Amino acid sequence: MSERPRPIEVTDPVTITVDGRPIEVQRGELLIDACERNDAYIPRFCYHPRMEPVGMCRMCLVEVDTGRGPALQPSCMIPTAPDMVVETASERVTKAQDGVLEFLLANHPLDCPVCDKGGECPLQDQTMAYGPGESRWVEEKRHYEKPIEISPLVLLDRERCILCDRCTRFASEVTDDPLIHFINRGSNTEVNTFPGDPFSSYFSGNTVQICPVGALTATPYRFRARPWDLERTESTCTTCSVGCRVTLESSRDRMLRINGVDSDPVNWSWLCDAGRFSFEATNSEDRLTEPLRRNPDGSFSGIRWSEALTVVADALRGSDPQRVAVLGGSRLTDESAYAWAALAKGVVGTDHVDAQLGDGLPAAVFDLPGATIDDVCRPGGTVLYLGPDPKEELPVLFLRLKHAAQRDGVRILEVTPTATSLTPYAVAGVRPRPGELAAVASVLAGGDVPAEGVAGVPAAELEGVLDALGAADGPVSVVIGRPNLAESAQVVLDAAASLSALPGVRFLPVVRRGNARGAVTAGLAPGRLPGGARLGSDDHWSSTWSTVPTAAGHDALGILAAAAAGEISTLVLLGADPLSDVGDRALVDRALERVDTIVALDAFPTASVRRADLVLPVAVAGEVDGTTTNLEGRVSRVRAKVTPPGTARADWVVAVELARRLGAEWTARTVEALRDELVAGAPQLAGTSWAQVDAADDGVVVDLTGRGFDPGPTAPVPQIDSYSLRLVLSRELYDGGELLARSESLAGLSRTPTVGISVGDAERLGVSDGTALIVRGERGSLTLPARVSSGIPRGTAHLVHRLEGSDPISLLSADEVACDVRVELA
């Protein structure tokens, strides 16, 4: 199997004897891992290094002698102890393992030729390696109806199942979604769901990956290829910013499958289903395949790249640099982001550059002392969680935090506007009113607790979190992000400013978009140079580039405001769709209206792309080489596995070509060169050269030392309107985003939009689940069914961004710290 033992640091070595050979192992580590690490692989089916051992399949039986004579023991359940003597290939062991294999094969169908797993099947492989030549089983085999759909993404052929408990254990132990279970008893045992209650877990695809036979198959892959036809390369998932390590698997230049790779500091081999299956969008018919130019009548015509580039170069050359802006870039590789930063800032000379769309975190958060996921999850630690629902936005980070809380004694203190998927694992939590997070943060950082409470949080609840924080005897880390898109990012910065006073505190900034941190670090942020240095504080780029901006430019909302005011002539959208994502629809609309030339680099015809004057088709994940930076600041390789459709190309190629056309003396012509050019000018990125990152399977973490965090001007505290509910706008994993909408298997999975309200407000309004409500803001209104939840505090209305049939950003205004809405019966 592709799993490997968890990396282990031998701090307490003991010597055991394996097959006559003394080996040094960590005291107490599982024998099966100790042997594998020392080249004595023991066959197994049920054991998985990332789950609790269960000793069920009995394939890993070995003879263990601890002084009382040799006995057959499952090596997955036996901790190593001094002087243990182990035989992994004795006659008795071989007989027992042969017996187990024969038992497993007794009822296993011989449909390997039509089974997806054939060719990469542990049962098949171990039968070849260890099994008897032929079966003595002459009885009728078990039969089941096949296959059954246990979720929209996963199919189950029960007769192939060897009841190893991997999928069911994963569901209950790793994700707490025990929707699949052993049913019935003895030789009639099967895995199944409860009727009408499918295995709709965000992590269901992992069960397919860990199934040691072909019992579980994924609908996007079933019958699409044979393992020996697949070509594989290792890469990093950029669907969100966790940066899970993956294998990209293709056949005949078509992406067919993505599997998780066990990266110890990151994803432990797990993936969410969005990351696993959204590659389908790569193969979408909607892909942009050639440059397009808008005709006067509004239609688009294909043009040649050279022509298109000339048009763009002319638009850039012809504008005052202050009238050029670049929006987006969070989906780009580090190198593409750097190329665009260098083009905008070092060639064109504009600082109106922002990789994010007002829904992420300003570059300043990366100046805070940083924490890795491992730092946050370190056993015994304490975590202040101020982020979005991690299961919805950063699913594998949720798995890590949940594991830390459940198994490693990490205490999570949740400070979020509504309950999240982490709430059941948190030891304490408070729900500050949106817009007033900073007040709570300042109390947590050592302020007094006013008797009347703070930000709508009763004093007693605050005391509870303070007590838990005071009891922390390990490191405190803060996970900080945007739980509410209807709340200004400044509120988060203000909270961070207070919390940075906690002794030894470190921050893990979480943003959803895949390479937001990398793009910002590469320079796609106003006021910043590649590597994160502030404008004017650095000599390298000013001596390298022909021009360097002198004053900080606008951020995304500022760029759009300037554009709306007629101050921007040329706007470049780097995979950005502000019409769909920026929390001020009217503003974006006016901005796009007034800009002279909109250039969109994108893979899909998004709402904003349709407003562009020139559209340049670009490559997506799986089609480009480079590096990406996850939320921790971990730089790891992404690799190209398939060629982009048509003439689509990597974003950096476009930047480099434009720079050449603009007469820049810029010689980098490869991603390797771009990477090294970026690293050479960025001390923070020391150690992340192309060669270094390329050689590091788990990537390389940038320097996380704090660098003079400046939150900027504090956000005003919004007035309370007692007739209104304050809006919380969050994201869900399956939303109407471009990738998901174009992934056939995932597109139908998003939830029906609702407006969430507290039990108290529901009583006040006299409504229950499903009652139609009107959510009315100053900018517009929505009619949605009510969802009454105990996880929502009184005075709060909860909406979800970008679900079909709901457009909550139409309610938002860019210049407000928080958004109040009236909720009434429709």
Partner 1 sequence: MARFSPDNEALARRIVDRYPVAKSATIPLCHLAQEQDGYLAPDAMEHVAELVGCTPAEVLGTASFYEMFKLHPVGRYCLNICTNISCRLLGASELLARAEERLGVRAGGTTADGTITLEDVECIAACTEAPALQVNYRYVERVDAAALDALIDDLRSGTGRAEEFPPHGTLGLVRQELGPDDLANVTPPGEQVEPVWFARNAAPTDEGAS
Partner 2 sequence: MTDQSTDPAVPRVVSSRFDVADAHTLEVYRTTGSFPGYAGLAAALERTPDEVRESVVAATLLGRGGAGFPAGVKWGFCPPGVWPRYVVVNGDESEPGTYKDRMLMERDPHQLIEGALIAAYAIGAAQVFLYVRGEMPHAQERIAAALNEALAAGLVGRNILGTDFSVDVLLHWGAGAYIVGEETALIESLEGNRGMPRLKPPFFPAAKGLYMRPTIVNNVETLANLPWLMHHGVDAYRAVGTETSPGTRLIALSGHVRRPGVYEVPQGTTTFRDLFHDERYGGGIRDGNELKMFIPGGASAPWFFPEQIDLPLEARPVGAAGSMLGSGAVVVMDETTDAVEACYSLVRFFARESCGKCTPCREGTTWEEKILERILEGHGRPSDIDLLLDVADNISPGPYPVAADPEHGLEAVPFPPKQTTICPLGPSSVAPITSAIRRFRSEFEARITRRDLIPVSSAAPGAAVTGGDDV
CB of 188 to partner 2, least distance (A): 8
CA dist., res. 173 & res. 410, Å (int): 17
Identity of the residue, 153 or 449, whose beta carbon is nearer to partner 1 in the bound complex: 153
Contact 173, 51 (CB under 8 A): yes
The interface region with partner 1, picked from 180-188, 358-366, 749-757, 801-809 by CB under 8 A, is 180-188
Q: Which residues of 51-65 are buried (b: 16+ CB within 10 A; e: fewer)?
A: bebbbbbbbbbbbbe
Question: Considering the rule CB under 8 A, would residue 100 count as an interface residue with partner 2?
Answer: yes
Residue-by-residue DSSP string for 156-175: E-GGG----SHHHHIIIIIS
Q: Kindly state the tokens that stand for 747.
A: 């597109």
Distances (CA, A) of 579 to 213, 427, 607, 736, 778: 46, 39, 6, 13, 19
Which CB atom, from 189 or from 306, has the smaller least distance to partner 2? 189
3-state secondary structure of 212: coil
CA 338 to chain centre: 22
**Tokens 């797990």 found at:** 270
Helix orientation angle between 437-444 and 489-499, rounded to the nearest 10 degrees: 10
State yes or no: residue 152 binds partner 1 (CB under 8 A): no
* Cα–Cα distances in angstroms (integers) from residue 78 to residues 54, 83, 88, in the given order: 11, 14, 13
Q: Which of 41, 182, 229, 691 binds partner 1 (CB under 8 A)?
A: 182
Smallest separation, CB 163 to partner 2 (Å): 7
Q: Select from partner 2, partner 1, none the partner in contact with residue 543, using the beta carbon and a kind-dependent cut-off of 5 to 8 Å.
A: none
* Residue 194's binding partner out of partner 1, partner 2, none, with CB under 5 to 8 Å set by partner kind: partner 1
Question: Reduced to 3 states, what is the DSSP secondary structure of residue 257?
Answer: strand
Q: At its nearest, how many Å lie between partner 1 and the CB of residue 200?
A: 12
Total residues contacting partner 2 by CB under 8 A comes to 36
**One residue of 10, 22, 41, 137 binding partner 2 per CB under 8 A:** 137
Nearest alpha carbon to residue 441 among 462, 410, 458, 412: 462
- Check binding of 61 to partner 2 (CB under 8 A): yes
In the bound state with partner 2, the residue whose beta carbon lies nearer, of 71 and 691, is 71
Q: How many residues bind partner 1 (CB under 8 A)?
A: 15
Nearest approach, Cβ of 377 to partner 2 (angstroms)? 23
Q: Please tell me whether residue 19 binds partner 2 under the rule CB under 8 A.
A: no
The span from the CA of 145 to the CA of 159, in Å, is: 9
Q: Which does 102 bind (CB under 5 to 8 A by kind): partner 2, partner 1, none?
A: partner 2
User: CA 299: distance to chain centroid?
Assistant: 36
List the single partner that 752 binds among partner 2, partner 1, none, CB under 5 to 8 Å by kind.
none
Q: 103 is in the binding site of which of partner 1, partner 2, none (Cβ under 5 to 8 A by kind)?
A: partner 2
Which lies closer to partner 1 via its Cβ, residue 67 or residue 186? 186
- Among 41, 137, 194, 223, which residue interacts with partner 1 (rule: CB under 8 A)? 194
105 vs 739 by CB, closer to partner 2: 105
Contact call for residue 41 and partner 2 (CB under 8 A): no
Question: From the CB of 377, what's the least distance to partner 1, in Å?
Answer: 23
Please pick, from the candidates 8, 77, 445, 607, the single residue that binds partner 2 as defined by CB under 8 A. Answer: 77
Of 2, 64, 9, nearest to 32 by C-alpha is: 64
CB closer to partner 2, 186 vs 196: 186
441-445, long-range: CB < 8 A, 24+ apart: 441/386, 441/415, 441/494, 441/495, 441/496, 441/497, 441/498, 441/499, 442/498, 444/384, 444/415, 444/469, 444/498, 444/499, 444/502, 445/498, 445/499, 445/501, 445/502
Name the token pair of 136. 């003595």
Under rule CB under 8 A, residue 178 binds partner 1? yes
Nearer to partner 1, 184 or 543 (CB): 184
Give, for 653, the enclosing helix (H) or strand (E).
helix 651-661
Pairing of strands 411-415, 382-386: parallel
CA 324, 677, 360, 332 torsion-angle sign = positive
Which of 114, 134, 184, 228 touches partner 1 (CB under 8 A)? 184
Q: Which of 9, 39, 139, 253 binds partner 2 (CB under 8 A)?
A: 139
Coil, strand, or helix at residue 485?
A: coil
Element (H, E) at 786: strand 781-789
Q: Closest by alpha carbon to 155, among 169, 170, 167, 164? A: 167
Residue 179 touches which of partner 2, partner 1, none (CB < 5 to 8 A by kind)? partner 1
**Is 163 a residue that touches partner 2 (CB under 8 A)?**
yes
Backbone angles phi, psi at 214, to 5 degrees: -95, 30
Residue 180 partner contact from partner 2, partner 1, none using kind-dependent CB cut-offs of 5 to 8 Å: partner 1
Does 187 interact with partner 1 (rule: CB under 8 A)?
A: no
C-alpha 571/C-alpha 588 separation (Å) is: 12
Distance CA 772, CA 808 (A): 16
**Comparison of 419 and 618: residue with beta carbon closer to partner 1:** 419
Tell me which of 179, 242, 312, 654 binds partner 1, using CB under 8 A: 179
6 or 92: CB nearest partner 2: 92
Contact assessment for residue 37 and residue 104, using Cβ atoms and an 8 Å cutoff: no
Near partner 1 by CB under 8 A: residue from 10, 71, 129, 183? 183
703-725 core/surface letters (b: 16 or more CB in 10 A; e: else): bbeebebebeeebebbeeeeebb
The full DSSP string for 555-610 is: -HHHHHHHHHTT--SEEEEES--HHHHSS-HHHHHHHHHH-SEEEEEESS--TTGG
Distances (CA, A) of 576 to 31, 579, 717, 737: 51, 9, 30, 11
**Nearest CA-CA partner of 732 in 223, 392, 321:** 392
Q: 3-class SS at 226?
A: coil
58 binds, among partner 2, partner 1, none (CB under 5 to 8 A by kind): partner 2
Q: Which of residues 102-121 bind partner 2 (CB under 8 A)?
A: 102-104, 106-107
Task: Give me the least distance between CB of 14 and partner 2, in Å please.
Answer: 17
Ranges within 197-236 binding partner 1 (CB under 8 A) = 197
Task: Tell me how far apart the alpha carbons of residues 188 and 190 are, in angstroms, rounded to a whole number.
Answer: 6
- Smallest gap from Cβ 185 to partner 1, in A, equals 5
Q: Which of 126, 193, 201, 580 forms a contact with partner 1 (CB under 8 A)? A: 193
99 binds, among partner 2, partner 1, none (CB under 5 to 8 A by kind): partner 2
- Angle at which helix 122-130 crosses helix 91-106, to 10 degrees, equals 140
Q: Which of 136, 503, 539, 766 binds partner 2 (CB under 8 A)?
A: 136
The region of 56-64, 215-223, 637-645, 791-799 touching partner 2 under the rule CB under 8 A is 56-64
One symbol per residue from 166 to 205: x for binding partner 2 (CB under 8 A), - otherwise; what is it?
Answer: ----------------x-xxxxxx----------------
Minimum gap (Å) between residue 199 Cβ and partner 1: 8
107 binds, options partner 2, partner 1, none, Cβ within 5 to 8 A by partner type = partner 2
Q: What is the 3-state secondary structure (H, E, C) of 673-739?
A: HHHHHHHHCCHHHCCCCHHHHHHCCCCEECCCCCCCCCCCCCCCCCCCCCCCEEEEEECCCCCCCHH
Establish if 145 lies at the interface with partner 1 (CB under 8 A). no
Of 7, 21, 28, 71, which one interacts with partner 2 (CB under 8 A)? 71
Which position among 55, 447, 687, 760 is part of the footprint of partner 2 (CB under 8 A)?
55
The piece of 101-109, 212-220, 514-522, 748-756 that touches partner 2 (CB under 8 A) is: 101-109
Instruction: Tell me which residues touch partner 1 (CB under 8 A).
Output: 172, 178-185, 192-197
Instruction: Tell me which residues touch partner 2 (CB under 8 A).
Output: 54-59, 61, 71-72, 74, 77-78, 92, 95-96, 98-100, 102-104, 106-107, 136-139, 162-163, 182, 184-189
